[in-house]
Amino acid sequence: WECDNSKFQSGHQGACMPPRRQKLCIKKLTKLNGNDTTKLRETLIKCAAVETFFAWQYYKKTSGQSGNVETQLQSGTIPEDFKRQMFYTLGDFRDLILDTDISAKRKNPNGKTDVGKAVENIKKILDKKDGQAGGTQTTP
């Protein structure tokens, strides 16, 4: 776990970031441009797919029953532990979309951090020129 206060926004002293979050696959989000919500959606799906692939490989390796979990998956059963891991991983993407991620987004000598750039690109798309959020709005 990463608990260095310099890795977080101010006001989050004592916070720690799990390894899953430190290695989140967001490279495609850092290269996103334009203001197309469909492109944002596709990019988020691709990032989540890459993250799911690597999380599954790691899960198979560390669960101690790689053949068994692969057989379970092929029969349509996703292991509960893996579902829980993906729940938190998708929550990490949610935090980026809603800009509630607590990691530092300040500029470094090479420009913005990957997280900062990804959040900036997402905001550009969701905050259209006329102030309307991109995409459809639903009411609960």
Assigned domain for 138 exists: no
Assigned domain for 119 exists: yes
**Could you tell me the mean pLDDT of each successive run of 10 residues in the chain, 140 residues long?**
76 78 87 90 96 93 83 92 94 91 67 82 80 53
What are the tokens at 120?
């900036």
Assigned domain for 137 exists: no
Contacts 24+ apart (CB under 8 A), 109-118: 114/26, 114/27, 114/30, 115/26, 117/29, 117/30, 118/26, 118/29, 118/30, 118/32
CATH number at residue 60: 1.20.1310.20
**What is the structure's pLDDT at 98?**
92
Structural domains of the chain, count: 1
Assigned domain for 139 exists: no
Query: Using CA atoms, how far apart are residues 44 and 50, in angstroms rounded to an integer?
Result: 10
Domain that residue 105 falls in: 5-126
**What is the structure's pLDDT at 19?**
76
Query: Using CA atoms, how far apart are residues 134 and 4, in angstroms rounded to an integer?
Result: 35
